[in-house]
Structure 1
Amino acid sequence: MPLPILICDDSALARKQMARTLPKEWDVEITYATNGLEGIEAIREGKGEVVFLDLNMPVMDGYQVLEAIQREDLPALVIVVSGDIQIKAHERVKSLGALDFIQKPVSADAISHILQEYGILELALGGQEQQAPMIEVDLRDACQEVANVAMGRAADLLAKLLNVFVKLPIPNVNVLEVSELTMTLKATEDYGTVSALCQGFIGAGVAGEALLLFHDSSFQDMAKLMKLENPEDEETELEVMIDTANVLIGAFLNGISEQLHMKFSQSHPVILGRHCSVNHLISENSDKWSRTLAMEINYSIEDHDIQCDLLLLFTEDSLPTLNNKLGYLLD
């Protein structure tokens, strides 16, 4: 009988990449789940003796899946496959019973090594080559998975610098008109006043702006983590903004460039506004933005009152090049 394999990930691109990296000689039957709840139901039905599990998912995330497997004593060997490469994420999944951790994007060599290391590959050798079900991947899904991996790279760097755990959301990716982008930014108004800066970036056929919105309530806590003197001083706030932007924007763009095999040049950061409402920020700068591909990530730090929103706004002219680059990931 083929070995029941479950690939649990909300990204169609990630599911497709994962299925492709499984050893060809492995006699397996693959089931897909798009969130943790679907994954748990599949495991209960005996469709996931070996599970490749993402962490950041809607409805039920990977941590909750691991907790449910432990609580119900379900027969599943779980290998976490995630873009969240923070050391504390590794430690948490191992403490919840995960067999091991593989960082995204996955490679066939990494998968084969882990399967051999734990003796899993030998469980189902010698069968006929299996054809994984076809998975359709659109531009938005592919961009979201690229953003997910880049987000994890940036969070890992910030976590190491501050010795914290960065809580990661599911990236929000959409092609937006200016009016829709305005609504996206206004969604942060619940957090009170913000300070913001932008930084332009350009690569071969791709250009845009990175926008960092720092919630004003976060400044003092962030300054203390950075061990800066005079956390209430305006110059200290400026230093916090620029240092945070250098980490998050730089690492995020590097994460994208690694996946799409292209390099970005960055301009100097420019302050867009300080201690103002999002509505004011938009009205002062809306003429800079037109139709755009937007990647939106909200970073927050566990046990601290710190939140900031990172938006990558790609120009409309960048879409053909991005489509072409993403095509290599889809094929």
Structure 2
Amino acid sequence: MAKIKVGILGATGNVGQRFIQVLNNHPWFEISALAASERSAGKAYADVADWKVGTEIPDSVSDLTVVPIDPKNIDADIVFSALPADLAMTIEPAFAKEGFVVASNASSFRMEQDIPLVIPEVNPEHLGLIDVQKKNRKWDGCIITNPNCSTIMMSVTLKPLLQFGIQNINVATLQAISGAGYNGVYAMSIYDNVVPFIGGEEEKIETETLKIFGSFDGQKVNNANFKVSAACHRVPVIDGHTESVWADLKSKPKPEEVRDAFLKFDPGLSHLPTEPKHPIIVRDEKDRPQPRLDRDMGKGMSVSVGRIREGIRYVALGHNTIRGAAGASVLNAELLHKKGYL
């Protein structure tokens, strides 16, 4: 079977490099185009990418010529967008109008009423918004988004808790510096320090979660009726976001019941290549999960949980640039393919 051609927008950046890592040797997808800024265009990828991923640049892309970010330059069926939100606001619709499926990691369109904000393990039915979107906007293509990295980790763990009736969620995040990009946090600001503010992050968690867990009525998503309150902190960790979650659950389950729900969680996505064998991993050690020890579980796609206590309180952790970014978009694209949208 011929592989599906994919392009990467913003291919030289942090998330763009993770896209290349996740897509390397993918059984369904083949990278056919790498797009970046004009200063990189026309040059071999290996010559312009300041490669930071802990592996060699794959041979399949090292000699590819980087092209400008323009639909006419891309030979692909789907493009993965690792663009900053301000650029994505105009570029992504331009690609969708030209018939491309855009799997976006940017925040620009996540909360648009007719654009799906999807985590395959949580709300695959929201893909139905694609048909609404195409009709509303008269696009041949479409945009599908994945949530904020912290929202993804928390939402995956909340899905098996729906059976207990979610009333309110409070979360405190300890977020890795890679979430701000390679040049996003100055060394003197983060060494020996915790920064108790990440612009827009708390609002994203508090609003995106409600859309993700909302009900799709065939035309729009009606937000979930519980409340989310977030406090976000930047910490001196390279990769891996840690979250302390307080879940107010209607049926007041015991910690053992919650642990069992996590262990039994099976979203039925084993047919998707990027889906990990265990989307949620339970750590029973008293001091786990930890970023350095647990962020790469399931090739970076598993969310680890631990310290499940009365309340219900627990700690969740996941790889922010894989599970929370590039891997999430690739998993969305795999689901799209299986549903016939590619």
Same structural fold, with TM-score higher than 0.5 when normalized by the shorter chain: no
TM-score normalised per structure 1: 0.32
Q: Which has the larger radius of gyration?
A: 1
